[in-house]
Structure 1
Amino acid sequence: MSRGSTVRERHPELFLPDTNIDPQMRKRVVPMKVLSLGMPRTGTASMQLALNILGFPCYHGLTLFSNLRDCALWNAALDAKFFHKGRTFTTADWDRLLGNYSAVADLPAVAFPEDLIAAYPDARVVLVERDIERWYKSFDEGVMQNVWSPVLRLIAKLDWNFVGRLESISGRWTVGWLRANSLEEMRRNARPKYHEHCALVKSITPPDRLLVFKLDEGWPPLCKFLGVEIPDTPFPRVNEGAALAEKIGLIAKRGLWNACLTVLKIAGFLAVMFFAVWLVR
């Protein structure tokens, strides 16, 4: 996180108004060009910024904060793929979710490598890899412990319209994609899943469409692969550990505030009802 910056500057996605767009009404308006399919905590926020800079608007897990109505469609995709509920998504279905974007990174999209590579045969695939032990530590602290946090789970139940919607997605990919029903299972499955996911992406992507990339390599290999000029700006490197911890805290506070407002509204409604009953007695 940059010193001197405000919370709003560090986490602008949390302060954007909800677009309230029904994804069922979306169609593809820009071609899908880049599928960044590295595991979460391999620098997906940095990749989102890099792709945005290069002119490829990127759908990231953070995009959901201002597109909450997308949650239902992502849940339908997860249900179909991992729980055999509903029909498998077609390219038209993916366009309803991703039609305004020419790139993807991070969950929930990376849980669908086979689907997205098949749906967008002209898109380039970038697989960001990271030292697995450093990745595991970051994934444990930034994802696993938060997914199973009893505090965040309680807030999700109290604030079903914001935190609850986001939690509904993480709950599905945790059980379906990572095959984990507890923190212990998730920790046990994390390293094998990392290897399995990277091997899968490599095996199903034509070699001429695939770049295996490390963030330390910076702009040159990425820009060459995507056929664009190297921008006159440093390659973005988000301090994702510290940024995510602060972001989770902000989400929890927002969820608690929303829950308090809901309780106050219910209490106010009940007070009016009791008063009305008292008046007619």
Structure 2
Amino acid sequence: MSLKVISAGFGRTGTMSLKLALEQLLGAPCHHMEEVVKNGPEQVPLWNDAVDGKADWNAIYDGFSSAVDWPTAAFWRDVHAAFPEAKMILSTRSAESWWKSFSNTILPSLLDERGPPPHLQGWIEMVKKVVIGRSLGGMTDKDGAIAAFEAHEAAVKAAYPEGRLLVHEAKDGWEPLCAFLGVPVPDTPYPRTNSTDEFHELMKSFVEGPQ
């Protein structure tokens, strides 16, 4: 299966909602950071290879028809070069609201001095390299992270002529997404999920591991 849709948006820009929406529209799995943590033994080494410039994109995205969120967002140029027919989306929100969400969810998990439990150690180290190192340029303060966020979005927008990229906020719902993909609008509400509280519940389940 080849990727049909790629989103370059950072985590906390409605990526979980977009994942669920794309799975509903395309009828196939969408790659998201959740897939990486759930399948760490297979996925983490592949993403470490990507960080080292030795990506096997076909192996990473085997079985997926779309990809959103980190780690994909940190490699959007390379991923689209590997799947040039895929449609490009930039999931987005205001920089201030992104920082508020990111700094209350993902960032504390990466900067926690207590460290992760052993079964998540490799995953956390990879995510630090992808998110803090590659996407944020090492910046973890508000001004630095927002500057990286804005520079990333500007680069994505500059890379595609009008009509080749959909800039999408969760509040935009189904209509622009379905028009861009050329599919009918579902008669169900657009997914709304992964609030800050839901993120913490999800992370708690990952930390606790299989029971």
- In the superposition, the TM-score normalised over structure 2's length comes to 0.91
Alignment of 1:121-200 (within 5 A): 121-151=84-114, 153=115, 155-156=116-117, 159=118, 162-173=119-130, 174-180=132-138, 185-187=139-141, 188-200=143-155
Match of 1:77 among 45, 50, 65: 50
Q: Distance in 2 between matches of 1:210 and 1:230?
A: 19
Q: CA deviation at 1:206?
A: 3.6
Deviations 1:200-253 (A, max 9, x none): 111112433211112111101100100111112110010421111112222223
- Residue 111 of structure 1 aligns with which residue? 74
- Specify the code of the residue in structure 2 equivalent to 1:186: T
Q: CA deviation at 1:98?
A: 0.4
Q: Which runs of 5+ in 2 are unaligned?
A: none
- Specify the code of the residue in structure 1 equivalent to 2:34: L
**1:60 and 2:17 equivalent?**
no
- Residue 51 of structure 1 aligns with which residue? 22
Q: CA deviation at 1:127?
A: 0.8
Kindly indicate whether the alpha-carbon contact (under 8 Å) linking 1:79 and 1:172 is maintained by their aligned counterparts in 2.
Answer: no
Computing the radius of gyration from Cα coordinates, the structure with the larger value is 1
| CA gap 1:95/1:206 in 2 versus in 1, 3 angstroms | farther
Alignment of 1:224-243 (within 5 A): 224-243=179-198
- Residue 33 of structure 1 aligns with which residue? 4
Task: State the 4+ residue runs in structure 1 displaced beyond 6 angstroms.
Answer: none
- Specify the code of the residue in structure 2 equivalent to 1:234: P
- Match of 1:179, SS? coil
- Residue 160 of structure 2 aligns with which residue? 205
Greater helix fraction, Structure 1 or Structure 2: 1
| RMSD after superposition | 1.7
Q: Which runs of 5+ in 1 are unaligned?
A: 1-29, 81-86, 258-281
- Specify the code of the residue in structure 2 equivalent to 1:164: Q
Number of aligned pairs? 207
Q: Distance in 1 between matches of 2:168 and 2:203?
A: 28
Q: CA deviation at 1:176?
A: 3.2
